[in-house]
Structure 1
Amino acid sequence: MIYEIALLPVHIGKTEAFRQAFAEVEPLLRRAKGYGGHLLAPGIETPEVFNLIVRWQSLEDHTPGFEASEDHRLFMLGLEEYFAEEPKVYHIEGGAFAQPFN
C-alpha cells in the first residue's frame, strides 16, 4: 500500500468553488482500480493550498494506472481552472503510517 500526497494550490477566493468542483469529480477517483480512500483538507497556515492524500494498493495503480486513464483526464479537467500553479505530487510507503510516532 502507498499514499499519494498532492499539494493543490487554489486561486485565492476560489476555495469554496474548488470544493464543489472536487465533489463533482470525486466519483472518478473513487472508482479507480486500487483506490483505498482519500482525504482532502486545506492547510491551516495556507488555506488556499489543499492537501489530497489518496491510499492506493500499489504505485502502479496510481501511476500509470489512474494517471493514464480517461477518468484522470476528466478529473483534472474538472479542477484545473482552480489551480493557481501546477500541483505537486509525491508518494510514500504505506508502512510509514503503521509505525508509532516518536
Structure 2
Amino acid sequence: MILEHADIRIDPAKAADFEAAILRGASTVIAMAKGFQGFKVNRSIESPGRYILMIYWDTLEDHTVGFRQSPAFAEWRSIVGPFFLQPPVVEHLELVGKSE
C-alpha cells in the first residue's frame, strides 16, 4: 500500500467551506478511483489554513497514472483547487513499521 501525503494551504477564513469541499470531493470523486483504499484529512492546530490530506492507494500507479491522468482528477481539482493558496506539496510514502 502507498500513502499519498498532500500538504495543502488555504485562506483560514475559508476553512469551513474548504472542509466541506475536501470531504465531498474525496468521498465522491477520489473514492471511486481504482486502487483507492481510504483517506484522512487533518487540520493543523498551530498553522491555521494548513491541512494534510492522506490517501491510501494499492499502488503508486493507481494514483499517478490511473487517477491523475483521468477526467476524475480535473473534477477533483474543480472542487478543491479554488481554495489553494499554492499548489499542494505531494509525496508518496511506503510503510516501514507501525504499532499494533
TM normalised by structure 1 equals 0.89
2:15 & 2:4 partners in 1: Cα distance? 21
Residue of structure 2 equivalent to 1:13: 13
2:20 & 2:82 partners in 1: Cα distance? 13
Unaligned runs of 5+ in 2: none
State the Cα RMSD in Å: 1.3
Aligned length: 98
1:58 & 1:23 partners in 2: Cα distance? 22
TM normalised by structure 2 equals 0.91
Runs of 4+ that moved beyond 4 A: none
Q: Aligned residues: percent identity?
A: 30
Unaligned runs of 5+ in 1: none
Task: Indicate whether 1:3 and 2:3 are aligned.
Answer: yes
Q: Deviations over 1:54-93 (max 9, x none)?
A: 0000000000110111111100111111111111100001
* Shift of residue 100, structure 1, vs aligned partner: 4.0
